[in-house]
Amino acid sequence: MTTFDIDAHAAAVTSLVRKASRRSLAWYRTAMTVDNKLAEGYDPVTEADRAVEDEIREGLERLFPDHAILGEERGLTGSGPYRWTIDPIDGTRAFVTGQPMWGTLVGLQAHGVPIAGWMHQPVLDETHVATPAGGRLLFGDPGPEGSGPRGASVPLRARDTTELGTAIMLCTHPEMFAPGPEAEAFARLDAAVRMTRYSGDCANYGLLAAGHVDLVVENGLAPYDIVPLIPIVEAAGAVITDLAGELPVDGGYVVAAATPELHAATLAVLA
């Protein structure tokens, strides 16, 4: 089996992701052109999506010429046991409507298993990083004295909530769940938790990993939506699977919970 030490390259990847992601701010809250990728329905894409992905692709190709790269906008290039996954703007709907909860996702799989992930949110200038060495939340560049945690780095750590009745749940939108049994199961879960908040996209998983909420439940995700977030959630000590209890590397239904007990309780309700 080929071996590769991503921790030796983590700083270079972090710098690449942060720099490329911040490029999207040049389009944010401007009169940008928004295209629709679908013949039926609506899946927005902007020039910013393509520009950010291209910059990350070029950087990864320089750093790791033998690795495969899968991006939301440019597809799959290369092959081999190591595959990078890029979502240049996760939360494009939020991006084009001027909302702040969106970010850039980059993840690395080794032999199909997610081993490292990055999420940078340009509006907040916060970066979640997870590698085999652990997970950290980086609070942007150092700022003036008294400007808060700028420049700080703290470990990712999920909360210790075990009961649904005290859990705070996040979900990007309730329409992620098909009408009928699927929506009814989610409604049961919504009724069982203490509070549910909507919107957020990738930021929801960062809030879980940083210990601000307890549960994220979503459906209809693509691999590039979730593969980079799996190491971030796991580095915080939380649990993330699909409804069958497997890693959701193919996307689809995702249940991310702060503790194994809360995860099991959630799956029981959804079943």
All residues at 6 or more sequence positions from 131 whose CB lies less than 8 Å from its CB, including other chains: 6, 7, 10, 115, 116, 231, 235
pLDDT value for 149: 56
Instruction: Report the chain's C-alpha Rg in angstroms.
Output: 18
In the chain, which stretches have pLDDT less than 50? 1-2, 143-144, 146-148
Looking at residue 1, what is its pLDDT?
35
Q: What is the pLDDT of residue 3?
A: 62
Paired strand residues for 131: 134
pLDDT tens figures, 173-203: 999 999 999 999 999 999 999 999 999 999 9
Query: Which residues lie closer than 8 Å to 191 by C-beta, 6 or more apart?
Result: none
Whose CA is closest to 119, among 140, 103, 97? 103
Q: Which residues pair with 104 in a beta bridge?
A: 120
Mark 73-102 as b/e (b = at least 16 C-beta within 10 Å): beeeebeeebbbbbbbbbbbbbbbeebebb
pTM: 0.94
Phi/psi for 203 (5° steps) reads: -60, -30
The structural domains of the chain, ordered by start, are 6-155 (3.30.540.10), 164-270 (3.40.190.80)
For residue 268, what are its two tokens?
């029981």
pLDDT at 151: 67
Distance CA 177, CA 262 (A): 21
- Predicted confidence at residue 150, as pLDDT, reads 61
